[in-house]
Amino acid sequence: MDLLENLIFGFETLIGWKPILVIVAGVIVGIMVGAMPGLSPSTGVALLVPFSYTMSPSLAVILLVSIYISSNYGGSITAVLINTPGTPAAAATALDGYPLTLKGEAGKGLGFSLIASTIGGIFGVIILILFAVPLARLAIGFHPADYFALAVFGLTTVGSLGQGNVAKAMVAVLFGLLINTVGIDPISGVSRFTFGIDQLYDGFSLIPALIGLFALSVVFTAIEDGKLGTKLVKKVTGKFPTLLETWRVKNTIMRSSVLGTIIGVFPGAGATIASFISYNLAQRNSKVPETFGSGAVEGVAASEAANSSSVGGALIPLLALGIPGSATDAVLIGALQLHDITPGPLLFESNPEIVYGIFSSLLVANAVMLFLGFYGVRFFAKVVEVPASILYPMILAIALIGSFAVQNSFFDVGACIGFGLVGWIFKRYNYPVAPVVLGIVLGNLLEENFRRAVMMDGPLVFFTEPLSLTMLTVAALLFALPIYRKYKSKA
């Protein structure tokens, strides 16, 4: 009963025109930030922190978490329409969302991303409300070996990203892991593969790499094929998915919501890993796995449900223990401290209006996001009716501006162009680009935790920690399964 009373108390903090206006404004800003390549959820929240300083602590937090939850959905809009993921987590959405647009079904891709994002977001918040403290304490007790095993488990998704060619997918993911070694060694501090270039000491930023691999590669391919004078799609529909179509993917959405929330609880794992793992699981459980990568609505739903539900999961260690689960959560901690609020176990007693205000505002923000997305989907879908001679230069401009915006660095612009050329070459020879992103995303988690685990307890620790052993065993089976199936089909 105490939980219900506290939640009602949280909704009481939203009574009045100011909190509702702040939520609506936060959702609109979040969608816009998410849709702009280069402006990640953490960037969007950081940009609005100074504006929140003049607000009351409750209103400031409501604004920032509304931006946080909606920016994850915003990233899917450009991923579906122009193959340019607005956020790293939307990279998996582009794999099937963009093919739906090319088929003239942009509305369906945007609709499924919206529905899955809303359901996933609400599910993550419910888990946050019910299990914040015990789940946070469980996650913080994880050994580095467990995090390494999680990263290896994430690499098992590479088979589903290869579109039938596991060998080429493995080459692509190894290229991504190799790219991730550029910069300062995270343990010893030694510079690696920097070749005396100062900008390489921090390695390659994920956002320019992502934009180049997905967006610029499309532009370069269009230039090579001479498609600049044509329309990207001859006929496009903004038609929303029907209730029956949505009902058919209910299991995918719920499974991905659960998985996204669990992965979100792991500090440092994040929405991107959740998206790729959920996408892989959806393909493995699909009756028609061969449709993935060519416009499968389950792929869009799985990715979006996972990345939105991970927000609730990531807030669990932040609110319960004061430990940021993601980059955005780190910015939120700074914003809370700016208002003299210290996140952690005492927050639930000292500032219950903040905690339960966050819970209630996240639920309302998801409802507002659904409303705005539903009425905006037809407008968004019209983007791809713009002639290619106008659209592709726009994509190029957005990509270069987005890359520059990450660190105000022209080096990132050059890196974006370089990754665009890599993506173009990969596509030309039928190598998938998504595994490259997967390798870059998982590289740090993989390397740092492997070395920490070995330094702490020796190389056998991966087999003595129960959770690590379980995940590595499952990962090995998932790696072996495609090879076994191929062998059986030839026999």
DSSP 130-196: HHHHHHHHHHHT--HHHHHHHHHHHHTTHHHHTTT-HHHHHHHHHHHHHHTTSEE-TTT--EES-TT
- DSSP character string of 352-397: HHHHHHHHHHHHHHHHHHHHHHHHHHHHHHGGGGSBHHHHHHHHHH
pLDDT digits (tens, 9 = 90+) for 336-351: 777 777 776 677 777 7
Cβ neighbours for 22, distance < 8 A, ≥ 6 positions apart: 55, 59, 62, 63, 66
- Residues 375-379 have a mean pLDDT of 74
**Dihedral sign, Cα of residue 313, residue 316, residue 319, residue 324:** negative
- What are the phi and psi torsion angles at 16 (to 5°)? 120, 160
**Dihedral sign, Cα of residue 84, residue 90, residue 92, residue 98:** negative
Contact call for residues 162 and 435 (beta carbons, < 8 A): yes
> What pLDDT, on the 0 to 100 scale, is given for residue 417?
92
Instruction: Quote the CA–CA distance of 324 and 343 in Å, as a whole number.
Output: 10
Q: Specify the higher pLDDT residue, 1 or 67.
A: 67
Nearest CA among 479, 443, 449 for reference residue 462: 449
Paired tokens of 430: 């039928």
- Residues 446-463 have a mean pLDDT of 87
| 98-107, 189-198, 222-231: range with lowest mean pLDDT | 222-231
Nearest CA among 346, 61, 303 for reference residue 160: 303
> How many degrees, rounded to 5, is the angle at CA 147 between CA 142 and CA 152?
150
Tell me the domain boundaries of the chain. Answer: 2-490
- Output the CA–CA distances (angstroms, integers) from residue 251 to 90, 140, 255, 302, in the order listed: 20, 30, 6, 10
Q: 0.85 cut: is pTM over it?
A: no
Cβ neighbours for 323, distance < 8 A, ≥ 6 positions apart: 136, 140, 267, 317
**Dihedral sign, Cα of residue 454, residue 457, residue 460, residue 466:** negative
Count of other CB atoms within 10 angstroms of residue 349 = 8
Q: pLDDT-derived band of residue 90, with 50, 70 and 90 as boundaries?
A: confident
Return the residue matching tokens 């070395």: 451
Instruction: Quote the CA–CA distance of 198 and 382 in Å, as a whole number.
Output: 43
Instruction: Quote the CA–CA distance of 302 and 258 in Å, as a whole number.
Output: 11
> What pLDDT, on the 0 to 100 scale, is given for residue 418?
92
- Residues 421-428 have a mean pLDDT of 90
Instruction: Quote the CA–CA distance of 190 and 198 in Å, as a whole number.
Output: 14
pLDDT digits (tens, 9 = 90+) for 115-158: 999 999 898 888 888 877 676 666 667 788 888 887 887 777 66
pLDDT digits (tens, 9 = 90+) for 227-267: 665 555 555 555 777 788 888 888 889 999 988 888 887 76
Q: pLDDT-derived band of residue 20, with 50, 70 and 90 as boundaries?
A: confident
> What pLDDT, on the 0 to 100 scale, is given for residue 39?
64
Instruction: Quote the CA–CA distance of 425 and 224 in Å, as a whole number.
Output: 11
pLDDT at 1 over 50: no
pLDDT at 327 over 70: no
Percent of the chain at pLDDT exceeding 90: 3
Instruction: Quote the CA–CA distance of 361 and 383 in Å, as a whole number.
Output: 31
> Three-state DSSP class for 436?
helix
> What pLDDT, on the 0 to 100 scale, is given for residue 335?
76
Beta bridge partners of 184: 191
pLDDT at 307 over 70: yes
- Residues 356-367 have a mean pLDDT of 85
Instruction: Quote the CA–CA distance of 346 and 365 in Å, as a whole number.
Output: 26
